[in-house]
Structures are given as C-alpha cells and as structure tokens.
C-alpha cells in the first residue's frame, strides 16, 4: 500500500510536514511542452514487450520505457501502457498514435497485427520486431535486414537527407539494434545514420503512417535525436515554444523565509516569473510560524511566483510484487490518511490563506499509483519533479490520467533556500543568452476539489469563477464585546460585597478621625 494504515493520522501529518531539503541543479533544455500549452489533443498508446517488465528486478528496460513515456507525454494529453501479451482487439481504436517498443523477442499478437493494419493514425516502431509483423503490411517499404550489437556512432543532421551539416556522436555499444533498409528510396524518408565503424544503416525511416526508429538509449545524443523525430511525428515547431520555466522546490514553513522572500524580490526585479513548489500543510494553522509562512507566500505571489502543490512527504512507491495481492483487499472505505483526503485538506488550507496552487507536482510514479487516482483527478496539470522511483503499471486509455503534463526537461529547478548563488548565476546567464522566462499562469490550469475551483485564465487567477487579486490578507481586529449581564445571584453577591466595602471604608475613616482627634488632645495637654 502507498501509506502504512497502521500509522495514526497525527504521525502521517507530522511526516508530511517534515522538510526534506535536497539539491536540484538547473537542467538545460531546448523545448517546452505542447501538452502544457493545452494545445495537445493526441491520445497515445504504448504497446511494450517483456511480459515480466512490471515485476522485473532489472529496471533498465523499464527506465527506457519511462523515458519514452515522458517524451510522449510532452506531446500528448493521454499516454497509456499495454503489455503486448495483454493486448486485446480494438484497444488502439480511436487513438492518434501507437508506439511499439521492445517486441524483438515477443510472440506475435495477431489481434495487434490486425489492428495495426487497419489503423489510420501514426505508428512508431522502436527497436526490433518489425519483421515479425510483415504479414500485416508493416514491411511494404521498410525492411529489417538483420541485427547488430556493434553500432557505436550516431550521425544526425538537421534534415532527413541533409548530410552537409550532420554531426557525429559516439553513443557506445548498443545491443540487438535492427539494421533498417528502405525498399523504395523514392517514397521513404531517412533521418540520420547508425554506424559500426565500417558500414552505416538508417537511424530512422518513415513511410506513410509508419516510423521505424532503430534505437533509443541513455545516451544524450540518442535522446535528443528521438525528441527531434517526435517533433516531426507530432508536427511540432520548436521555435514557437516558450523557453524557460523556473521552479523553486521544497517551500515549507521550516525553510529560511527571509531568503525565499529576498530571492522572490530579486527575480521580480529581473522580470523573471517563477514557480514555487509548496509542501502540503493541514495542521497548526494558528501557530505564529505558519501565519508568517502564509504571509511570505502571499508576497511571493505578488512578486510573480505561481504556487504548485508538492506531494506528501510520507509517500513511497507501491510494491509492484504485492500489487496483485492488494487488488483483492481493496475497499471503498475512505481513511483520513488517504492521499486524496490529505491533499484536499492542504488545498483548502492554502485557499483559506489566499494562496492559489495551480498544479500538482511529484515523480512520474504518481501517475500509475492507484491510490492517487482521485488525487490526480483534482488537477488538470501535473509537473514532473523528482526522478522516477521504479513503479509502473499498465493503463488502458480510459484509465490513464488526462491532463497537461510538464516534463522536468522544460524546468530550471533550484532548492528554495540554499541555492541562491546557482540560481542567480543561471538566470543571468540565460538572460544573457537571450532566453525568455515563461509565466506558469499564462497557461490553462485548473484545480477542482470538494466544491472549490482554482484556475488560471490568460494570466489571471480565478476562484470559483471570480477573479482574485494577490493582495495581502488583512486581519481585522475583533470588535469590543459589551460586558456580559450578571445573573440574579451574581448581582446579589455584587451588591453585598459593595455594602461590605462601604461599611469597612466608614469604619476605617472613623478610626482615622478618632486617631487624629486623640493626637490633638494630647498635644493641647502637653502645651499646658
């Protein structure tokens, strides 16, 4: 299970409030997200091989699968995963793109082959196995002539046949990579080459609806080449995309709030909008430190900071080995420790303090965690933050979360409290290079929970449809309360005590008068 049900709600809250500060250096990147722009309508299915991938202790294939998933989510509102052994007829019906990965050693799925023959969208075949589906019309113009473990160099240029400006990059040895060949050079487009030092073969071939991509991998050059091919497949122009999104991570009541405030002021002076990742809070709101925290975040919003809500600190990935067992013990009972309950409490706490989170952020594993299905339904935008922790599960298109996805490839990330020098140097360098910094509020984002809605519309924040301003919260002094009326018994006691005080005062006064008079009589006797 995602949360230990034996822990009390108090402990869960305490764990969620603990600040775990870690350094996230700035990432370089060259493109942003069509999905984030809200312009993406593509629905993508990945059919992948290796039936034991989900439960495999060797995570290398899974890591490549998740990198592919991340690259495709940049372009698509929905990306779902189906193992080839589990594929059933019609599961790619209605989607725009199908990608097949890791099928070189898998048995042919006849239902998949028949659906691919009829499919009218875009097919991306990554790696080997294409020749196994030759009976379904996938090798009419593109063929696999063999496999090689000796490809060590990627040759890639700006166009499919433009070799004048091509670049050569060593990629290390690759395993079981298909040797692609075009059967009709006039109608098949080529993008790049893979070389073994003696002979080279096309890196990518494109004919009609089929794109054959020979390899993906951990090498940065292969990743960049794949991203450029995906631009072509999704018909995206990089030059039209925003340049930089700046993000401050791990903002909580326990950090140096003065440093956060001074950082926000400096970014405001530089004309740089930014994102602040807020830790969930839902207890001890009356404490002075919490009130100070809310005050600073409101000022950060005024200075161009846009809030997003981070994940619970007590979360850890589900154990994939126990997933099947737990499916039989699921109930519809809602626990106060459930993620959706805690996240909703935190959203309400921030909203009450006039702080407006516009997205949810965390590692990609959250998109596959069944206990986060309701939590993810609150948000139209997810910001990938943190490395993938090793969890993935199959999802049909109707099960996959649909929304705007922001990959960490498009973020410059910094720690909120102890990376001031790195942030300042990076911002100044980017500005010198001509970069522009994108405002998160200018993109369509919406958060809906309980009966409340927070949305960004053309740079404005709206709560339940009403435009809000980033003003400071004014705390009104409580009006003076009239004295409470006394009961009959209390009035009697008050009158009695007043009478006693009056009598006591008279007695004391008479005593003083007698004392003074006696002194005067003694003085007269003495004078005589």
CATH number at 422 reads 3.20.20.370
pLDDT surpassing 90 at residue 488:
no
Single out the residue of 527, 362, 348, 363 nearest to residue 453, CA to CA: 348
On whether residue 219 sits in a domain, the answer given is yes
Which sign, positive or negative, has the C-alpha torsion 363, 233, 237, 27? positive
Q: What is the mean pLDDT of residues 340-349?
A: 95
- 72 and 174 share a domain? yes
259 found inside a domain: yes
Residue 516's pLDDT is 65
Q: Are residues 13 and 152 in the same domain?
A: no
Give strand pairing partners of 126: 101, 213
Question: What's the pLDDT score for residue 45?
Answer: 96
In a domain, 482, yes or no: no
Asked whether residue 322 falls in the same domain as residue 414, the answer is yes
**35, part of any domain:** no
Average pLDDT over residues 490-512: 73
Domain of 265, in residue numbers: 9-26+241-468
Residues 72 and 101 in one domain: yes
Residue 397 domain-assigned (yes or no): yes
Residue 341 CA, chain-centre distance (Å), reads: 18
Q: What is the mean pLDDT of residues 418-442?
A: 87
pLDDT in tens, 77-96: 899 999 999 999 999 999 99
Asked whether residue 1 is assigned to any structural domain, the reply reads: no
Asked if residue 180 and residue 161 are part of one domain, the reply reads: yes
Flag whether pLDDT at 240 surpasses 80. no
Q: Are residues 62 and 16 in the same domain?
A: no
362 confidence band (pLDDT: 50, 70, 90): very high
- Would you say residue 511 has pLDDT above 90? no
Domain-ending residue, one of 198, 220, 240: 240
Which residues, at least 6 apart from 193, have a Cβ–Cβ distance to it below 8 Å? Answer: 154, 155, 156, 200, 201, 202, 203
- Give the Cα separation of 69 and 82 in Å (integer): 12
Tens-place pLDDT, residues 29-59? 333 455 555 556 789 999 999 744 544 445 6
Task: Please report which helix (H) or strand (E) contains residue 405, including its range.
Answer: strand 404-406
Helices and strands (H, E) in the chain, number of each type: 11, 22
Residues 6+ apart with CB under 8 A from 502: none
Please tell me whether residues 318 and 420 are part of one structural domain. Answer: yes
In a domain, 36, yes or no: no
Rounded Cα distance, 275 and 279, in Å: 13
User: Which alpha helices (DSSP H) does 270-370 contain, by range?
Assistant: 288-302, 323-327, 339-352
Contacts of 371 (CB under 8 A, 6+ apart): 1, 2, 3, 318, 338, 339
Domain identity same for 294 and 220: no
Q: Are residues 140 and 213 in the same domain?
A: yes
Based on the fold, state whether residues 307 and 418 are members of the same structural domain: yes
Six token digits for residue 289: 């430190």
Neighbours of 176 (CB within 10 A): 12
Q: What is the mean pLDDT of the chain?
A: 80
Whether residue 329 has pLDDT greater than 50: no
pLDDT at 26: 35
Q: What pLDDT was estimated at residue 471?
A: 53
> Of 193, 222, 240, which residue sits at a domain end?
240
What does the block give as tokens for 205?
Answer: 């071939």
Tell me: do 235 and 252 sit in the same domain: no
Question: What pTM was computed for the model?
Answer: 0.76
The percentage of the chain sitting over the pLDDT mark of 70, rounded to a whole number, equals 75
C-beta of residue 35 within 8 angstroms of C-beta of residue 89: no
For residue 227, what is the domain's CATH number?
3.40.50.880
pLDDT band for position 266 (cuts 50, 70, 90): very high
Going through 84-171 in order, the beta strands assigned E by DSSP cover 97-101, 122-126, 142-148, 153-156, 167-170
pLDDT of residue 317: 83
Is the pLDDT confidence value at 479 over 50? Answer: no
286 and 206 part of one domain: no
In a domain, 92, yes or no: yes
Higher pLDDT, 422 or 174: 422
Where is the domain boundary, 211, 240, 269? 240
Q: How many domains does the chain have?
A: 3
Model confidence at 375: pLDDT above 50: yes
CA pseudo-torsion sign 434, 437, 442, 447: positive
């Amino acid at each position: 299970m995602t949360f230990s049900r034996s822990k009390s709600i108090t402990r869960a809250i305490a764990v969620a409030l603990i600040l775990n500060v870690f350094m996230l250096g700035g990432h370089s990147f060259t493109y942003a997200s069509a999905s984030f722009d809200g312009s993406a309508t593509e629905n993508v299915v990945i059919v992948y091989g290796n039936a034991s991938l989900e439960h495999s202790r060797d995570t290398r294939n899974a890591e490549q699968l998740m990198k592919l998933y991340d690259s495709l989510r940049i372009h698509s509102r929905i990306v779902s995963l189906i193992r080839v052994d589990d594929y059933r007829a019609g599961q790619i019906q209605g989607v725009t793109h199908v990608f097949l990965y890791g099928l070189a050693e898998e048995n042919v799925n006849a239902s998949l082959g028949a659906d691919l023959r009829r499919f009218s969208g875009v097919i991306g075949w990554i790696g080997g196995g294409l020749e196994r589906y030759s009976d379904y019309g996938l090798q009419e113009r593109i063929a696999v002539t063999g496999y090689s473990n000796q490809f060590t160099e990627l040759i890639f240029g700006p166009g499919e046949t433009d070799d004048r400006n091509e670049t050569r990059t060593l990629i290390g040895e690759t395993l079981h990579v298909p040797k692609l060949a075009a059967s009709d050079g006039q109608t098949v487009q080529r993008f790049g080459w893979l070389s073994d030092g003696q002979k080279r073969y096309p890196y990518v071939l494109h004919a009609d609806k089929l794109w054959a991509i020979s390899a993906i991998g951990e090498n940065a050059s292969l990743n960049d080449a794949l991203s450029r091919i995906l631009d072509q497949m999704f018909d995206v122009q990089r030059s039209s995309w925003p340049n930089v999104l700046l993000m401050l991570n791990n903002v909580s009541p326990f950090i140096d709030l003065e440093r956060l405030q001074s950082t926000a002021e400096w970014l405001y002076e530089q004309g740089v909008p930014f994102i602040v990742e807020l830790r969930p809070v839902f207890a001890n709101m009356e404490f002075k430190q919490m009130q100070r925290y809310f005050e600073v975040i409101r000022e950060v919003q005024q200075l161009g900071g846009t809030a997003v809500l981070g994940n619970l600190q007590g979360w850890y990935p589900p154990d994939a080995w126990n997933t099947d067992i737990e499916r039989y013990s699921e109930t519809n009972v809602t626990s106060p420790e459930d993620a959706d309950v805690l996240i909703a409490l935190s959203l309400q706490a921030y909203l009450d303090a006039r702080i407006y989170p516009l997205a949810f952020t965390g590692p990609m594993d959250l998109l596959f965690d069944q206990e986060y299905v309701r939590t993810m339904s609150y948000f139209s935008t997810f910001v990938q933050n943190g490395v993938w922790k090793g969890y993935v599960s199959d999802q049909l298109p109707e099960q996959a979360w649909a929304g705007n996805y922001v990959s960490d490839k498009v973020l410059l990330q910094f720690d909120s409290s102890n990376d001031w020098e790195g942030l300042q140097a990076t911002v100044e360098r980017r500005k010198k290079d001509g970069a522009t910094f994108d405002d998160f509020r200018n993109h369509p984002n919406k958060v809906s929970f309980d009966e409340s809605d927070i949305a960004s519309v053309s740079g404005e924040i709206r709560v339940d449809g009403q435009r809000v301003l980033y003003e400071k919260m004014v705390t009104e002094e409580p009006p003076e309360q009239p004295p409470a009326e006394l009961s009959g018994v209390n009035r009697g006691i008050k009158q009695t005590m007043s009478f006693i005080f009056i009598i006591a005062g008279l007695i004391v006064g008479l005593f003083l008068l007698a004392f003074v008079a006696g002194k005067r009589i003694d003085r007269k006797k003495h004078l005589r």
